[in-house]
Chains A and B, each alone.
Chain A
Amino acid sequence: MNKQRKAVALISGGLDSMLAAKTVMDQGVHVEGINFFTGFCVEGHTHAIRAKAKAKPKRNNALWVAEQLGIKLHIVDVIDEYKDVLINPKHGYGANMNPCLDCKIFMVNKAKQWIAENGFDFIITGEVIGQRPMSQRRDTMPVIARESGADDLLLRPLCAKYLPPTVPEREGWVDRDKLHDFSGRSRKPQMELVKQYGISDYAQPAGGCCFLTDPNYSAKLVDLWQARDNNREYELDDIMLLKVGRHIRPAANFKLIVAREEGEGRFLEGYRKEYISLFSLSHSGPLVLLDGTPSAEDLHLAAAITARFGQGRNAESVEVTITQKDGSERRLRSSLSPAPTFRRRGIYEPGRVKRQAFVMSAAGDSYAG
């Protein structure tokens, strides 16, 4: 009797990887899923942080897909190893800070190591030729296979017919005739397959699977690096905080992270031992974290900004508490006259395209908590 072959499928949580895994499972191959957590993944976080999102808890799509398929899913923490991919991508970045091609090579390489350690035979991805401008082009497909070291152990069931036969096809572990010939950005063939498989629900992440494809997020990341003299090293907390709150950089030496609502405020509370924090004492308002090395004058500016984001934005004066990392507190009274100073200096929100004066803190920007 033929031995049952085993494949590991890269599961992002989107439809393509789900269909790719299903296509191969239907041929009698034992499939398990693997999902890499880089720290930038869209799954999870912000939903967990923002209070509003709590009412409707967000499922983790990769886990959900695995459950629909009835396969195991291994989630692998690659936060540290991924830093090198993001900081030094050999093939450069996409439209934003997304190093998609290097990222794919990295992940397929990790999957290659995983199959070697776990006695699996080959790797499946949901890639479709011509679907993504950077990583899913006819000329980049072989690059991923080659540079990941997976070579022809890498099967792309959705577009296999456009590619040279891989080991699983040549050895007859899968029937090439039953694989697909999807290409381009049209989703029609996927929709047909969805119907054929009777899939009633699936996730369709727009753009990419991670925050690095988001222009606002990318701008904040670049700003973080620039503020650190272009030292691109980062910690998980750094990149998590970029997902939360309004980021305002009044000067090169410090920035403020202003909670936009209650859930974010609670999340930022957890960082008060690592950052200077500010909140308005006399009026309700958001918790604000300060990242950087502010001068005494900068602290006044930070206090004034904190005041402006709270209920005291139109008050004559607002009392603001500044807490150092060691817990020591100091109070500052901020009278709301320094607006001209703000205007002169300009306040830059890295996520926004234009430089803006502080007057942008109109009602819509204020704390909702």
Chain B
Amino acid sequence: MLNARRLLCPLPVIRTQDKIKQLQPGDRLEVVATDPGVMQDIPAWCRIHGHTVLESREHEGEFIIVLQVGG
């Protein structure tokens, strides 16, 4: 899980990007953030880099995005 709470965009995207560099294709990553901007920015970033968003939801004021690293 990547804790991106209290970070404002684009920092959650930057942290996601840096974390993914350490992962392998097929791995999953859950990002938890408080900036609603992630609901747009992380999927956009995933689309251009070939990663897949498996799930995105809001839960008690937090935004959770689960993604799968592309090949």
Contact = CB atoms under 8 A, between A and B. Distances in A.
A72 B49 contact: yes
B14 A76 contact: yes
Contacts of A71: 48
Interface string B1-33: 000001011110110010000000000000000
Contact of B35 (A48, A62, A67): A48
Given A48-B37, A75-B17, A63 B45 contact: yes
Interface residues of A, number: 29
Interface residues of B, number: 19
B58 to A, nearest CB: 12
Contacts of B47: 67
B48 A66 contact: yes
Given A60-B41, A64-B44, A45 B17 contact: no
B14 A63 contact: no
Given A44-B37, A63-B41, A75 B10 contact: yes
A136 B9 CA distance: 28
Contacts of B41: 44, 59-60, 63
A35 B8 CA distance: 16
A198 interface: no
Interface string A46-67: 0111000010011110111011
B48 A44 contact: no
A37 B10 contact: yes
B17 A60 contact: no
B36 A48 contact: yes
A144 interface: no
Contacts of A57: 36-37, 39-40
Nearest to B17: A75
B9 A73 contact: no
A49 B44 contact: no
Nearest to B43: A63
Could you say which of A49, A54, A58, A60 has the most chain B C-beta atoms within 10 Å of its C-beta? A60
Chain A CB within 10 Å, residue with most, of B10, B17, B35, B47:
B10
Contacts of A77: 11, 14
Contacts of B39: 57
B49 to A, nearest CB: 6
A74 interface: yes
16 contacts: A35-B10, A37-B14, A44-B35, A49-B8, A54-B36, A57-B36, A58-B37, A59-B44, A60-B9, A60-B41, A63-B10, A63-B44, A66-B48, A67-B44, A67-B47, A67-B48
Interface of A: 35, 37, 41, 43-45, 47-49, 54, 57-60, 62-64, 66-67, 70-77, 240, 270
Q: Which 4 A-B pairs have the closest CB atoms?
A: A44-B9, A63-B44, A48-B37, A48-B35
